Amino acid sequence: MDQPILPPPRALHRFRRPARRRHPRRQLAALAAVAVSLVLTAAGCSGAEPPAAAGGAAAPAAPVVRGPLCDLLPSGSEPGNPAALTGQPAEVALQWLPVLTTFEAAVRASGLAADLRGGSGLTILAPTDDAFAAKFSEENLDQLLLVQKDKLRGLLREHLVAGSLSLSDMVAAGGVTTLAGTRVTVTGGGGTARLADRADTVCADYQVANARIHMINRVLGDLPTTASEDGHRAH
pLDDT at 3 over 60: no
- Closest to 187 in 3D by CA, of 210, 168, 160: 168
Q: Tell me, which fold does domain 70-216 have in CATH?
A: FAS1 domain (2.30.180)
Mean pLDDT of the chain: 80
For range 121-141, the mean pLDDT: 97
- Residue 60 has a pLDDT of 57
Q: Quick one: what percent of the chain has pLDDT higher than 70?
A: 71
pLDDT at 83 over 50: yes
- Residue 232 has a pLDDT of 54
- Residue 96 has a pLDDT of 97
- Residue 118 has a pLDDT of 67
Greater confidence (34 vs 191) lies with 191
Q: What is the pLDDT of residues 168-177, one digit of tens each?
A: 999 999 999 9
For range 186-212, the mean pLDDT: 95
Q: What is the pLDDT of residues 45-59, one digit of tens each?
A: 444 443 444 455 554
pLDDT at 81 over 90: yes
32 CB-near residues (< 8 Å, 6+ apart): none
pLDDT at 38 over 90: no
pLDDT at 219 over 50: yes
Q: 3-state secondary structure string, the chain?
A: CCCCCCCCCCCCCCCCCCCCCCCHHHHHHHHHHHHHHHHHHHHHCCCCCCHHHHHCCCCCCCCCCECCCHHHCCCCCCCCCHHHHCCCEHHHHHHHCCCCHHHHHHHHHHCCCHHHHCCCCEEEEEECHHHHHHHCCHHHHHHHHHCCHHHHHHHHHCCEEECCCCHHHHHHHCEEEECCCCEEEEEEECCEEEECCCEEEEEEEEEEECEEEEEECCCCCCCCCCCCCCCCCCC
Task: Band the pLDDT of 123: cuts 50, 70, 90.
Answer: very high
